[in-house]
């Protein structure tokens, strides 16, 4: 029972902005949107999370639509080290975090 | 962000032996930690939830007598794979929940432990 839908793969040119979409049309009012990424053979890395408002930190920006049914993770200036599988996850604050298949982002030189 | 460590990063053992993996939250206290397993080209699968001072909660299909979890302190959880067999070879990853006080608790992950059972 997938809560989110992501494209299986995307390419982005090095130095350009990478925009990763996520659909979560059944999200409820108190569920957060989390983004993690997993670089090959490493543990997942927390990127950012949000509830309603757009969020920005040193890694990325998270844009959540007004109806909260979708969001976009933006890596402003992609580098080769950003090649990874990116996971969009919807959950309540203390809910167990489970992973779908994510989006495999490849940064092309 | 918060830091979670795992030890060892890589272990090779003979079939039938037991292997212990440690997971530590280095700069925060975690009442709840999680253990995941990841097979090649698959996503992470949650194995169990580790609660400080109480018994772990296992996901369906995970044998609690084979994967022993101990969460003796607020910064340490251990996973022991007992009587390991080749099919237990996998990438084991722990995470710890940081009660950041912002209305939601963010999970931070360790770097993972690659277990190979010969």
Span A64-94, pLDDT tens digits: 999 999 999 999 999 999 999 999 999 886 7
Ramachandran quadrant class, A71 (left: phi over 0; alpha: psi -120 to 50; beta: rest): beta
Quickly state the pLDDT bin for A99 (edges 50, 70, 90).
very high
Question: What residues of A are in contact with residue B6 (Cβ under 8 Å)?
Answer: 43
Sign of the Cα torsion A72, A77, A78, A81 reads negative
Q: What is the Cα Rg of chain B in Å?
A: 14
Nearest by CB: A49 against B34, B106, B109: B106
Q: Please name the residue of chain A whose CA is at the shortest distance from the CA of residue B46.
A: A98
Contact A43 B109 (CB under 8 A): yes
A5-61 tens-digit pLDDT:
999 999 999 999 999 999 999 999 889 999 999 999 999 999 999 999 999 999 999
What count of other Cβ atoms lies within 10 Å of the Cβ of residue B51?
A: 16
Q: What are the structure tokens assigned to B76, written together?
A: 């340490």
């Amino acid at each position: 029972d997938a809560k989110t839908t992501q494209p299986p793969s995307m390419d982005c040119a090095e130095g350009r902005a990478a925009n990763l979409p996520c659909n979560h049309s059944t999200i409820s009012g108190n569920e957060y949107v989390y983004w993690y990424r997993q670089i090959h053979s490493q543990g997942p890395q927390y990127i950012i999370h949000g509830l309603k408002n757009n969020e920005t930190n040193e890694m990325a920006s998270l844009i959540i639509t007004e109806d909260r049914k979708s969001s976009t993770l933006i890596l402003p200036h992609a580098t080769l080290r950003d090649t990874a599988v990116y996971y969009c996850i919807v959950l309540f604050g203390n809910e167990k975090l489970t992973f779908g298949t994510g989006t495999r982002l490849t940064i092309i030189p | 962000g918060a830091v979670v460590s795992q030890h060892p990063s890589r272990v090779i053992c003979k079939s039938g032996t037991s292997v212990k993996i440690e997971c530590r939250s280095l700069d925060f206290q975690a009442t709840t930690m999680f253990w995941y397993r990841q097979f090649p080209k698959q996503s992470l699968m949650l194995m169990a939830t580790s609660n400080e001072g109480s018994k772990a909660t296992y996901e369906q299909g995970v044998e609690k007598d084979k994967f022993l979890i101990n969460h003796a302190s607020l910064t340490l959880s251990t996973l022991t794979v007992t009587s390991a067999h080749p099919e237990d070879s996998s990438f084991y990853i722990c995470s710890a929940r940081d009660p950041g006080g912002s209305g939601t608790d963010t999970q931070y992950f360790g770097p993972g432990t690659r277990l190979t059972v010969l």
